Amino acid sequence: MQNFPQDDRQTLLVTGGAGFIGANFILKARKARWAKIVNLDKLTYASNLQNLAILQDDPNYNFVQGDINNLELVCYLLEQYQPSAVINFAAESHVDRSIFSPQDFIQANVVGTFKLLEASKIYWQKLTATRQKQFRFLHVSTDEVYGSLNPQDPPFREDTPYAPNSPYAASKAGADHLVRAYYHTYNLPTLTTNCSNNYGPLQFPEKLIPLTIINALDGKHLPIYGDGQNIRDWLYVDDHCDALYLVLRKGAIGETYNIGGQNEQTNLTVVQKICEILDHLTPKLNFQHSSLITFVQDRPGHDKRYAINCDKIIQNLGWLPKENFDSGLVKTVQWYLNNPTWINSVRTGEYQNWIKQNYQNY
């Protein structure tokens, strides 16, 4: 198999590109002239075209509103734009929502990935031999498919058995298995990445870090599930985007690559660090943001710890994260402080309904 070419004449079909990670990837791809971009996004509650407003006059960027479950539409876009790769960010991604509405996650993450794979297979089989060798299907997944770790357990490796514990994790595991099956059954040149918790600019404020920042700025309670000792590995989104493009260009076909920030933190520590940064950047007389911390009832099936072993991508592809957790967190807090208009734009009725559903008693 040939390496995927780095060429601004190439086209990438990016699904879910108006969401958090997808938008950051597209912005980076166009700034670095990695490729032309066709962005297919359903525009669900967590999508935001404002994230990509800077590209509205870019002739090498095209947005299409649509669903990856629409096989006819995906087939049309592949034929129309002739991409050299498909990168699948499209997913329902919030664990809490999957507990309340698991059917939405099965439809988007499992059935949607199947439709995207099927359309890509049909398209790929029609390509010339040279273009078939260059084509890639990159599926972006999560470390949650591996289950939960105890404090003394070694981090997840690519060969760690799958043991998903939430409907979200199970739906992503199902999608991962479909991607693997399409490689082994049809020889579709697939790649899969499993990443740890992302953070950074443009993240919808249902996730821990942006929710904490925004609530703290408003003087509201900072909710922490259980005792706050659940542990996550944190990956700055810009580092994740670099890793994804590296996997796209140099990854071995059919392989999986774990991508982690190598920054394990308890949820309580994360919130405390945000409070300390805000105390420094937005000081208030006789007030510390940590006084807003409120412990709330733990969510069902809350995994204790996630940790990623990313030796494979480091040793085989030469990737390393540029940000440590402290430097990335400062950049993230500063971005939210500098973008109040963006914050206001995402505070929709859907967001308010979610807050009431999850934290109505706090």
Please state, in angstroms and rounded to a whole number, the distance separating the CA atoms of residues 146 and 161. Answer: 6
Reading the block at residue 145, the tokens are 């498919």
Reading the block at residue 210, the tokens are 């942006």
Q: Looking at 143, 239, 264, 303, which residue is catalytic?
A: 143
61 is catalytic: no
Please state, in angstroms and rounded to a whole number, the distance separating the CA atoms of residues 200 and 213. Answer: 11
Sole residue written with tokens 């609530």: 215
Q: Looking at 144, 206, 233, 239, which residue is catalytic?
A: 144
DSSP string, 188-217: --EEEEEE-EEESTT--TTSHHHHHHHHHH
Reading the block at residue 128, the tokens are 């010339």
Give the per-residue SS3 of 174-188.
HHHHHHHHHHHHHCC
256-259/264-266 β-pairing: unpaired
Picking from 242, 258, 252, the residue whose alpha carbon sits closest to that of residue 307 is 258
Cβ neighbors of 222 (< 8 A, separation 6 or more) are: 212, 215, 216, 271, 275, 289, 292, 293, 294
182 is catalytic: no
Give the per-residue SS3 of 230-243.
CEEEEEEHHHHHHH
Please state, in angstroms and rounded to a whole number, the distance separating the CA atoms of residues 362 and 360. Answer: 6
Query: How many beta carbons lie within 10 A of that of residue 101, not counting itself?
Result: 14
323 is catalytic: no
231-236/264-266 β-pairing: antiparallel
Per DSSP, which regions of the chain are E strands? 11-15, 36-41, 61-65, 85-88, 136-142, 190-195, 197-199, 222-225, 231-236, 256-259, 264-266, 293-296
Q: Looking at 123, 146, 168, 199, which residue is catalytic?
A: 168
Catalytic residues, which ones? Answer: 143-144, 168
